Amino acid sequence: MIKKIIIVMVVTLFAFLWLVSCTPYITEGEIISKEYRPQKMWVTYMYVNKTLIPQTHVSPEAYIIRIRGIVDGEEVINERNIPAYLYEKLSIGEWWTDAFMN
């Protein structure tokens, strides 16, 4: 009985993850916002044989734009992580196309 419950829970989890990850991908649209996320660094500690071992984590800086477009008649908003030079060049309200990344 426990095995069946675990199987149902795992299948439900995978179905949920599949549904969440199926956001339509847009290749062009209007830039509606820009966001700069600075680099972050933090330390966590892990016990190994009664010893605390520090682990350093780094999330790199990111230049994010949000794009609004139409897919199958529905309005969709996607985020793009873009290079710094492109982030500085683009403005809110401009038209984005994935050709900028090539």
From the list 76, 65, 62, 72, the residue with the least C-alpha distance to 98 is 65
Domain segments of the chain: what residues? Answer: 26-101
Q: State how far the Cα of 82 lies from the Cα of 63, in Å rounded to an integer.
A: 6
Q: State how far the Cα of 67 lies from the Cα of 77, in Å rounded to an integer.
A: 5
Pairing state between β 62-71 and 74-82: antiparallel
pLDDT value at position 8? 83
- Is residue 39 a contact partner of residue 60, using CB atoms and an 8 Å limit? yes
Using 50, 70 and 90 to split pLDDT, how confident is the model at 20? low
Determine the Cα angle at 74 with ends 70 and 80, to 5°.
50
24-73, pLDDT tens digit by residue?
A: 778 889 999 999 999 999 999 999 998 999 999 999 999 999 999 988 88
65-93, pLDDT tens digit by residue?
A: 999 998 888 899 999 999 999 999 999 99
- Is residue 89 a contact partner of residue 101, using CB atoms and an 8 Å limit? no
User: 31 vs 14, which has greater pLDDT?
Assistant: 31
Q: State how far the Cα of 43 lies from the Cα of 58, in Å rounded to an integer.
A: 9
